[in-house]
Amino acid sequence: MSKQKSGRVISSVLKTLELVEHVRKMKKATVTELADRAGLSPGAVHTHLSTLKRAGYIVQEGTEYRLGPQFLASGEHVRNYSELYQASKEQIDELAETSGECAHLIIEHDCKLFALYERFGDKAVGVELHGRKRAEPLDHLHCTAAGKAILAHLPKERVRDVLENGELPENTSETITAPQKLAEELEQVRQRGYAVADEEQVQGIRAVGAPVMPADDDVEGAVAISGPTSRLQGERFEEELTKMVMEAANICEVNLQTADFKQEYI
């Protein structure tokens, strides 16, 4: 699948970011382990890590390195200064409180899904699972309600790229892995205005999601509710929760087109 590309790049910066990703995925790592993963000499790895350490992005504990607290400030900045977050936070809170389930605000970047904000109702399940998912962006869009809601409204060439060149891994026996079937599903999403995921990412979990599209058919993200199949079924799932999600997404769209929601964060 093609990724976003732009002009010339500095290879040493890419290597540094690659090492950051390795540390994130490994939780903690030694210079030798990172050198093996990145295909660099231990000396080169040590130089990269020392630079990151000085800037607060890496912490050393004995012979091991982990991500530093500076990433906390960076992550909070990305979220708090997002207009989509500012326009949608109250709606996600209300969805979680009203439904009692997990409410999500999801964005897509470079064919990966990121949880911009989540709130858990008093009946929510899988809270620990969602925490792990936030730490590891989902690199495919075909198996979640929010992912399908976004994918259905991406530019046609990007959708075609996913269907023709992208990987469609089978997470469960219900995951849609056939490109033609996924294309038909996306067309249904466009027609009805929402997407569903029926145990397609995690066995026993259903979800419904709606795109946030304030203007010009550009999709900014998606609002979704997820919960156990034992509760998300019948009229409650097919009508009540679906209506709630679509209404919340619509309010987010309206908010994005006004200046009233904008706040200053320090």
Q: Where are the chain's structural domains?
A: 11-73, 82-256
pLDDT at 212: 98
The CATH code of the domain at 82-256 is: 3.30.450.40
pLDDT at position 1? 39
CA dist 123 and 97 (Å) reads 9
Q: Please tell me the predicted confidence (pLDDT) of residue 125.
A: 86
Q: Are 223 and 234 in contact (CB under 8 A)?
A: no
Question: Could you give the CA distance from residue 107 to residue 75 in angstroms, rounded to a whole number?
Answer: 14
pLDDT for res 131: 72
* DSSP string for residues in 183-219: HHHHHHHHHHS-EEEESSSSTTEEEEEEEE--STT--
Contact present, 189 and 152 (Cβ < 8 Å) = yes
Task: Return the CATH number of 11-73, one of 1.10.10.10, 3.40.190.10, 3.40.50.970, 1.10.540.10.
Answer: 1.10.10.10
Structure tokens at 148: 């399908």
Six-digit token pair at 266?
A: 């320090």
Q: Distance (Å, rounded) from C-alpha 113 to C-alpha 91? A: 20
Query: Hey, what are 242's tokens?
Result: 């679906």
pLDDT the model gives residue 2 = 43
Angle between helices 70-80 and 83-99 (to 10 degrees): 90
- Helices of type H across the chain: 11-26, 31-38, 42-55, 70-80, 83-99, 127-135, 145-151, 156-165, 179-192, 234-235, 242-256
Tokens found for residue 155: 């530019």
pTM of the model: 0.88
- Please, what are the averages of pLDDT over each run of 10 residues along the chain (266 residues)? 64 95 95 96 97 96 96 92 95 97 96 94 84 78 97 95 92 96 97 97 96 88 97 96 98 87 54
pLDDT at 23: 96
